[in-house]
Structure 1
Amino acid sequence: MVTLKFLLDQLVAPVPGGIGRYAENLAREVISRAPAGCEVEGIITPPKSEGAPTVEQIEERFPGLAHLEVTKLSRSTLAQSWSRGLLTGAIGGGLIHAPSLFAPLQPLGSDGGVQTVVTVHDTVPWTHPETLTSNGVRWHKRQLKRAWQHAAAIVTPTHAVAEQVAELYNFGDRLRVIPGAPSRDVHLPENPDEAAERLELPDTYILAVGTLEPRKGLNKLVEALAKIPDAQLVHAGPDGWGDVNWDSLCADAGVERSRVKSLGFISNTDLAVAYDRATVFCMPSIDEGFGLPILEAFRAGTAVVHTDVPALMEVAGGAGIHVPLADESTFVERLSVALKNVLGDEELRESLVTAGHDRFPIYSWGYSADLVWRLHADL
């Protein structure tokens, strides 16, 4: 029996974020589509962060998982050790698939037949280091260098990120693209009206989804909101870092706090309701590696406005309205105009909805899982 060790540690991270959703959805399909004679073992560190799922809860989320191994050492200990080439044998050898750079990279050809594949979701530590913590930037840079030295292959979620990574290191044919897709868990509940009432969603609103952090461009979105009279903003996502909070963002932009509703981290079914009831979904990020929320908005039948970040342009495929980031002095004005146009033009919204419905089926977790197995077989 061939065992693929799949690192699921992002699920117990303090903020699982988009990488956590990528890891969970991909792992489920990798498990269900395992070839004959192959199985998948999950690897996590001890769940210690507040609100983290238990080991039992994680096991329940992955039917067919052969085994869920919990490391003896903490996530922080392993992260720092692995980035320095220490304790890389902590989870043994064999086939290892890491849906992030959190991986025990050992020299190629080392004892134990180690074959480690890592995933690079974006190049933000190089392009926009100011939007991350200094420790996070250093860690990512060390890990990517180690991946260049020791990884059997490097996965990116888009061709845009693959091109950016190739400019940093020459990975040759070790560089592969395995995209994400809309999550099956993000679906409407039996009574969406009841959920919308419980969430106290406005009749008309702009929706933003993602961790509340500098890179997401939510400060610019609030500034744009100030230029759209009576418009309301709803945000779904956990708090992040960088002293970013809605009270200060609204105060700085001169927007009444009541015009912004923060749902925090919500369930997948509640998220589906938020997408479904939104008038327009906006992704004002200054950098991204994929853009899963765009696909989820497309599937929900919601018009999309986004920035011209290369990965977002690739994922949207022209099915949304994009606002170029160039010329920062006019960006907020241009973003507000785009949002006003969509909010006020039903025919435009309908055309965007149709385009989105045609776009999102291109992406499939089943296809991505098949690419994972094909990659490990090729190696």
Structure 2
Amino acid sequence: MDLFNRVRVGINAVPILSPLTGVGQYTYRLITELQQILPHKPWLFYGTSWDREIRTAAAPGARELNNAIKRMMPHPHLITRFLKQTRFSSGVRRHKVNLYHEPAFLAYRFKGPSIVTIHDLSWVRHPETHPVERLREMNRFMPRVVEHASHIVVDSDFVRQEVMSYYGVPGDRVTTVLLGVGAEFAPLDAARCQPVLDKFGLAYGNYLLTVGTLEPRKNLSTVIAAFARLPDDMRRRLPLVIVGMNGWGMDKFSHGLRHMIERGEVRMLGYVDQAELPALYSGARLFAYPSLYEGFGLPPLEAMACGVPVIASRRASLPEVVGEAGILVEPMDDAGIAGHMRALIEDDALHTRLANAGRVRATAFTWRKFAHETIAVYKKIMSHVD
């Protein structure tokens, strides 16, 4: 029998229990693809229990227990992690897991071969964009995680170089596996977008869009500053729509938004269900994403797949995603970004050219390809197991 047919993969599935941001999307797509490809469905760890089926909600009482620990105990993060490690280890033994993939940085202790996905080093490169508690946790645990992992998977060549440089990891221990874009992200005409756009009071082709957790690293303050430079009538005709959960550091730019929100020039939709995103992308005139630091950048790829021209930062991994199919900018240059916004609004030929180029480029990124390349890493690691 092929050695790989005996592999019993365990995956930390906690990231899919909350609204799906980048790591949650990665974890969800990894699990759903592996369920279809592997000879045995992976075992999924949900923090307090194990299952082979996908869940989207935490077990009853789990959130209340975590909140109680935070209120009543010193060092709540360490206590919570200890409890989860205990449940993790007992499940590993019970289900005979012999290969562990941690998709969310902070791997649990595991005696067998393990793969850890490091999506970025933002807590190292941009510590000012993280709360103190998160910095403390990452700096405490990540050196050990990197040391003990059999192999590290990263989302881009940019992050691969970051990991090799910062942690001194040799290149043969780090593999780039580019992410994918779901088939649901495709150009939709006005009629198919209308139900979603009506819900949010938007008109097809008559708004600008940005998507991402509302935190300083996403650099939404520069998007807003660039938008504010557009002529008054243009801002009224094409409002800026911001989609994303409230994150850390919102207070730093929320005050400046107030007057444009009151005038209807900026619409903050908050977290939007994943099923509504294709329509929101497809209905936008353009998509702006001048993030300061990204390990990959799913939103610009999703926008390109929907046939929407993209303005993105030329920093970090984003050039690997966008390539020459979008407009790459210095992320703090609000005047330059405003000029590109105006060009994409007024120049139909430029808009069409970039919309087509983005759609073609996006076809090279699929979750099935991502899964097969991840499995190739599994096979490589297992081939060295006695």
Task: Give the TM bin, normalised by the shorter chain.
Answer: 0.7 to 0.9
Q: Secondary structure at the match of 1:362?
A: coil
CA distance in 2, matches of 1:201, 1:378: 49
Deviation sequence 1:308-340 (CA, Å, 0-9, x none): 122001111111101124xx5xx1111111111
Deviation sequence 1:224-250 (CA, Å, 0-9, x none): 111012321001111112134874241
Flag the 1:7–1:69 CA change in 2: closer, same or farther, 3 A: farther
Which residue of the partner structure matches residue 182 of structure 1?
A: 181
Mapping 1:21-100, distance limit 5 Å: 21-34=25-38, 36=39, 38-45=40-47, 58-59=54-55, 80=78, 87=86, 89=89, 91-92=91-92, 94-100=98-104
Say yes or no: does 1:9 pair with 2:14: yes
Flag the 1:202–1:80 CA change in 2: closer, same or farther, 3 A: farther
Give the superposition deviation at 1:159: 0.5
Task: Give the residue type in structure 2 aligned to 1:176.
Answer: T
Which residue of the partner structure matches residue 138 of structure 1?
A: 136
Which residue of the partner structure matches residue 195 of structure 2?
A: 194
Task: Give the residue type in structure 2 aligned to 1:290.
Answer: F
CA RMSD of aligned residues (A): 3.1
Task: Give the residue type in structure 2 aligned to 1:209.
Answer: V
Task: Give the residue type in structure 2 aligned to 1:12.
Answer: L
Task: Give the residue type in structure 2 aligned to 1:103.
Answer: A
CA distance in 1, matches of 2:249, 2:324: 32
Give the superposition deviation at 1:71: 12
Structure with the bigger percentage of helix: 2
Give the superposition deviation at 1:80: 3.4
CA distance in 2, matches of 1:56, 1:200: 40
CA distance in 1, matches of 2:252, 2:200: 20
Task: Give the residue type in structure 2 aligned to 1:239.
Answer: N
Which residue of the partner structure matches residue 246 of structure 2?
A: 239
Percent sequence identity is 25
Task: Give the residue type in structure 2 aligned to 1:182.
Answer: V
Unpaired segments ≥5 residues, structure 1: 48-54, 62-67
Conservation of the 8 A alpha-carbon contact between 2:35 and 2:42:
yes
Q: Secondary structure at the match of 1:45?
A: coil
Which residue of the partner structure matches residue 282 of structure 1?
A: 288
Task: Give the residue type in structure 1 aligned to 2:247.
Answer: G
Conservation of the 8 A alpha-carbon contact between 1:11 and 1:24:
yes
Which residue of the partner structure matches residue 162 of structure 2?
A: 164
Flag the 1:354–1:90 CA change in 2: closer, same or farther, 3 A: same
Q: Structure 1 residue aligned with 2:372, among 356, 370, 373? A: 370
Conservation of the 8 A alpha-carbon contact between 1:196 and 1:274:
yes
Which residue of the partner structure matches residue 52 of structure 1?
A: none
Which residue of the partner structure matches residue 305 of structure 2?
A: 299
Q: Secondary structure at the match of 2:27?
A: helix
Which residue of the partner structure matches residue 50 of structure 1?
A: none
Unpaired segments ≥5 residues, structure 2: 1-5, 70-75, 382-386
In the alignment of these two chains, the number of paired residues is: 351
CA distance in 1, matches of 2:294, 2:117: 14
Say yes or no: does 1:18 pair with 2:22: yes
Flag the 1:72–1:237 CA change in 2: closer, same or farther, 3 A: closer
Q: TM-score, normalised by structure 2?
A: 0.82
